[in-house]
Amino acid sequence: MKGINKVILIGNTGKDPEYKTLQDGTPVAKLTIATTESYRLKNGETQTKTEWHSIIVWRGLATLASQYIQKGSLLYIEGKLRNRQYEDKEKQKRYVTEVVADHIVLLDKKAKLHPDETEEPQEEPLPF
């Protein structure tokens, strides 16, 4: 039987995406999002827990992420969980768990225009 590796997250970005192009020309972006859950304890007190998730975005989706996502953006993300290891500057092995995004949907309402920009209504041609 085939396994399933699917992650769905809805949360806010903690900072602007980090965008770079690899030596072979492949665009990649890294962003972090926070998911928050709230629950009530037996004594009635509400507890809130925030988890931070590292998201990796490749190719065209990385380019779009760098253009449209900013700190505080509300996102819906679908992807796969990936674990990897690397060696840090002190030659210590480090382990990282990341979500490799396949789909991102911006859930923010349409961005407001800057105060110095005005949107002029477009006149529709009359049908007669």
Q: Where are the domains of the chain?
A: 7-106
Residues 27-41: what's their mean pLDDT?
Answer: 95
- What's residue 1's pLDDT? 84
Cα–Cα distance for residue pair 82/96, rounded to 1 Å: 8
- What's residue 112's pLDDT? 46
Phi and psi torsions of 44, nearest 5°: 95, -10
Residues 97-105: what's their mean pLDDT?
Answer: 96
pTM strictly above 0.85: no
Is there a contact between 66 and 104 (Cβ–Cβ < 8 Å)? no
Higher pLDDT, 2 or 124: 2
Q: Does domain 7-106 have CATH number 2.40.50.140?
A: yes
Residues 28-56: what's their mean pLDDT?
Answer: 95
Tell me the Cα Rg of the chain: 20
**Sequence-separated (6 or more) residues with CB below 8 Å from residue 57:** 17, 28, 29, 30, 31, 65, 100, 101, 104
The mean predicted confidence, pLDDT, of the chain is 88
